[in-house]
């Protein structure tokens, strides 16, 4: 079985100019310098005057947009959290049924939110990369530029309030100040590069002690400013003389520990590592465990020397691809377009689509996607490569097929499978 190299790498979506523009909105240095000097290493403060868009970030989510979400969209948990005095407010205090025809009991009640916010609570709108159109597109473009899955939350904090105590995140973040001013205090990590299973709560005393010392960065973010924080850096933020709205873009990057996890999962194939401990072993006795540990380490070392990079890559693909959804599809419009496809129709690959082409050796080619694999005749390979290269293409110009009837059939299949969209 042969993997066919797509242009630009295995399954990476084509990089549109909008991807570079999305990253440029977040950092005031060139991408190469950001990658070498800041990514995963040091915070980066970018003032509004150093960024390309003088209008700031209100086009992504404004205070009026936040009010729209909180009042007229039937928002439900977990798309909202509420925090006050460093603690989460139980959802039962601000959710309920939505009235006739919408009795589901975990919907956000705007009158309850009003009371809590007026009393100083911070509102956290979560998963906005799935619910708010401008942020759906922005997250897709920024994720393409970083080649990492993203999540986007918004924090609405009343004047003078602080939603959360000093803490660290287990993922990198970009903070985009939309409205108001917020005072940030940044301290160096107590645990560099923490994993998701190493949250700050397990080191609360260290975090508190470090936060009481001098800050590595003490700054007030103004509208249009951006701040990059690597995972593990301690931070706290307090709104100033007026309410504050900022966006936090969380970057869910894979780590080397993910490689270790995949290797251990594959190690189950080795019979030496599946063997049981001897009958009667006292697992609480280090002397009894020592010879078993020695033999296990030897078996693991022997197995690691034979580890297959392709198998590890397959495991990582199953983690990473589903975490970053491609561009939204309009089901009704796309279904209607199926009936009108002809040789003159122009189609394009779905934005942000992850894929691999695999020649199976039996006259077929497999198109592997994040959630399924499509099997097609091998003569479709040139047409698939042409489409997935990224630029819109006229159906009649798809190469490798015998006639327009075959090309139209393929185009309809790819539209129905949400691989392609009308251009």
Each residue's pLDDT tens digit, 47-86: 999 999 888 999 999 999 999 999 999 999 999 999 998 8
Structure tokens at 238: 């307090």
Q: Please, how many CA atoms are within 13 Å of residue 113, restricted to the half-sphere of its CB?
A: 23
What pLDDT, on a 0 to 100 scale, did the predictor assign at position 11?
57
Global pTM value: 0.90
> How confident is residue 10, by pLDDT bands cut at 50, 70 and 90?
low
Instruction: Report d(CA 350, CA 419) in Å as an integer.
Output: 6
Burial-class residue 299 by CB neighbours within 10 Å (0-12, 13-18, 19+): middle
| In this structure, CATH architecture of domain 331-422 | Alpha-Beta Complex (3.90)
Residue written as token pair 């209008």: 55
Task: Report the pLDDT averaged over residues 295-319.
Answer: 94
Instruction: Report d(CA 114, CA 121) in Å as an integer.
Output: 10
Q: How many residues does the chain have?
A: 423
3-state secondary structure of 139: helix
Q: What percent of the chain has pLDDT over 70?
A: 96
Q: Confirm if 157 and 212 have CB atoms less than 8 A apart.
A: no
> How confident is residue 382, by pLDDT bands cut at 50, 70 and 90?
very high
Q: Confirm if 362 and 2 have CB atoms less than 8 A apart.
A: no
What pLDDT, on a 0 to 100 scale, did the predictor assign at position 242?
94
Q: Which long-range contacts (CB under 8 A, 24 or more apart) does 281-285 make?
A: none
Burial-class residue 119 by CB neighbours within 10 Å (0-12, 13-18, 19+): exposed
Domain boundaries, the chain: 17-251, 256-320, 331-422
What pLDDT, on a 0 to 100 scale, did the predictor assign at position 2?
32
Instruction: Report d(CA 377, CA 394) in Å as an integer.
Output: 20
Measured CA angle at 239 (ends 233, 242), to 5 deg = 160
pLDDT per residue as tens digits for the range 355-366: 999 999 889 999
What pLDDT, on a 0 to 100 scale, did the predictor assign at position 26?
98
> How confident is residue 374, by pLDDT bands cut at 50, 70 and 90?
very high
Task: Report the pLDDT averaged over residues 241-260.
Answer: 95
> Would the pLDDT of 8 be above 60?
no
Please give the CATH number for the structural domain made up of 17-251: 2.60.120.650
């Amino acid at each position: 079985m042969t993997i066919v190299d797509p242009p630009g790498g295995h399954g990476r979506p084509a990089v549109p100019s909008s991807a570079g523009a999305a990253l440029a909105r977040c950092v005031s240095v060139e991408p190469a310098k950001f990658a070498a000097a800041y990514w995963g290493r040091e915070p980066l403060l970018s003032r509004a005057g150093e960024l390309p868009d003088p209008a700031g970030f209100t086009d992504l989510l404004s205070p009026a947009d936040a009010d729209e979400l909180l009042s007229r969209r039937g928002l439900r948990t977990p798309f909202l959290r509420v925090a006050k005095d460093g603690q989460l407010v139980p959802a039962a205090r601000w959710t309920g049924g939505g009235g006739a025809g919408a009795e589901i009991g975990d919907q956000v009640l705007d009158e309850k939110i009003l009371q809590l916010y007026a009393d100083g609570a911070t509102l956290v709108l979560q998963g906005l990369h799935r619910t708010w159109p401008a942020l759906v597109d922005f997250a897709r473009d920024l994720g393409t530029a970083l080649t990492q899955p993203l999540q986007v939350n918004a924090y609405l904090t009343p004047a003078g309030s602080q939603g959360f105590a000093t803490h660290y995140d287990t993922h990198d973040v970009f903070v985009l100040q939309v409205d108001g001013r917020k005072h940030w205090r940044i301290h160096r990590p107590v645990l560099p590069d923490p994993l998701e299973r190493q949250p700050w709560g397990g080191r609360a005393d260290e975090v508190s002690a470090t936060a009481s010392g001098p800050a590595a960065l003490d700054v007030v973010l103004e509208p249009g400013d951006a701040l990059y924080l690597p995972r593990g850096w301690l931070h706290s933020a307090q709104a100033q003389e007026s309410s504050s709205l900022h966006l936090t873009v969380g970057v869910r990057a894979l780590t080397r520990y993910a490689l270790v996890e995949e290797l251990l999962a594959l190690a189950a194939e080795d019979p030496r590592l599946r063997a049981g401990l001897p009958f009667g072993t006292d697992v609480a006795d280090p002397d009894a465990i020592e010879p078993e540990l020695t033999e296990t380490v030897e078996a693991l070392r022997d197995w690691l020397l034979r580890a297959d990079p392709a198998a590890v890559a397959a495991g990582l693909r199953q983690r990473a691809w589903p975490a970053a959804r491609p561009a939204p599809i309009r089901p009704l419009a796309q279904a209607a377009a199926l009936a009108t496809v002809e040789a003159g129709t122009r189609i394009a690959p779905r934005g942000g689509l992850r894929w691999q082409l695999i020649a199976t050796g039996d006259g077929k080619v497999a198109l592997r996607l994040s959630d399924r694999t499509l099997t097609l005749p091998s003569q479709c390979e040139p047409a698939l490569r042409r489409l997935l290269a990224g630029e819109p293409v006229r159906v009649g110009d798809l190469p490798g097929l015998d006639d327009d009837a075959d090309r139209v059939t393929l185009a309809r299949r790819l539209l129905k499978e949400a691989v392609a969209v009308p251009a």
